[in-house]
């Protein structure tokens, strides 16, 4: 007696179709020469009202800090992140913190209270976190001066701090040795 396989239905079919669409979309994007960017083409707006466009990051090492006010390790990391931002202010480096909190006023108050004087983005819709595949907090995503992701880590502690510092320093050193030619705007 042979056992007949049930037809692909329900979530199996949905999962299979999603995978096919994702792979096809990725192949089409690669074929078209689309290069994924760390921020959307229309940019992201900071809490201070500054619009950060992809061109603003050209030639710079960029560290995204995904955090939330309720996340204790995120809060513990703030002083060190401030030191990074200040210490590399004259280097090709940009730190951008991205809050996932639901309440913008809470984020604004927290940022003011903790003197977080580097670009802060309120990602209320989760679109930037989704774009960069962030699933936990804190998560740090480091891009080199050519816009390629080179390091990612979640959590905070002495070992993570040391590794993050090493990766940032090495990326900045590489950016300084081999700057990216920035095309003149017409």
State the CATH number of the domain containing residue 144: 3.40.30.10
Best CA proximity match to 66, nearest among 115, 136, 125:
136
Assess if residue 182 is contained within a domain. no
Which residue matches tokens 């951008």? 96
DSSP three-state, residue 51: strand
pLDDT in tens, 147-171: 999 999 999 999 999 999 999 999 9
Question: What proportion of the chain, given as a percentage, has pLDDT over 70?
Answer: 77
Assess if residue 103 is contained within a domain. yes
Q: How confident is the model at residue 100 (pLDDT cuts 50, 70, 90)?
A: very high
Assess if residue 37 is contained within a domain. no
- Whether the ω angle into residue 43 lies within 30 degrees of 0, i.e. cis, is no
Assess if residue 33 is contained within a domain. no
pLDDT in tens, 49-94: 999 999 999 999 999 999 999 999 999 999 999 999 999 999 999 9
Residues of 11-25 as b/e, b for ≥16 C-beta within 10 angstroms?
eeeeeeeeeeeeeee
Assess if residue 153 is contained within a domain. yes
Assess if residue 70 is contained within a domain. yes
Predicted pLDDT at 91: 97
Domain that holds residue 120: 44-177
Assess if residue 186 is contained within a domain. no
Q: How confident is the model at residue 183 (pLDDT cuts 50, 70, 90)?
A: low
* Total domain count, the chain: 1
**Cα(75)–Cα(82) distance, integer angstroms:** 12
Best CA proximity match to 121, nearest among 83, 65, 82:
65
**Cα(144)–Cα(63) distance, integer angstroms:** 9
Look at the pTM and tell me if it is higher than 0.85.
no
Q: Can you give the three-state secondary structure of 99-143, one letter per residue?
A: ECCCCHHHHHHHHHHCCCCCCEEECCCCHHHHHCCCCCCCEEEEE
Assess if residue 183 is contained within a domain. no
Best CA proximity match to 138, nearest among 82, 63, 67:
67
Predicted pLDDT at 33: 43
């Amino acid at each position: 007696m042979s056992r007949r396989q049930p037809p692909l239905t329900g979530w199996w079919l949905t999962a299979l179709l999603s995978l096919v669409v994702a792979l096809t979309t990725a192949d089409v994007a690669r074929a078209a020469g689309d290069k994924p960017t760390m921020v959307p083409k229309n940019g992201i707006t900071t809490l201070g009202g500054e619009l950060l466009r992809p061109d603003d990051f050209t030639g710079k090492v960029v560290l995204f800090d995904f955090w939330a006010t309720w996340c204790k390790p995120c809060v513990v990391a703030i002083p060190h992140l401030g030191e990074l931002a200040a210490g590399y202010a004259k280097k090709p480096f940009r730190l951008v913190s991205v809050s996932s909190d639901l309440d913008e006023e809470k984020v604004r108050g927290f940022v003011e209270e903790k003197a977080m004087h580097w670009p802060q983005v309120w990602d209320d819709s989760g679109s930037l976190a989704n774009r960069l595949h962030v699933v936990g907090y804190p998560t740090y995503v480091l891009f080199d001066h050519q816009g390629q992701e080179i390091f990612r880590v979640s959590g905070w502690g002495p070992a993570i701090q040391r590794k993050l510092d090493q990766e940032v320093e090495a990326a900045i050193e590489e950016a300084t040795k081999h700057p990216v030619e920035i095309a003149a705007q017409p």
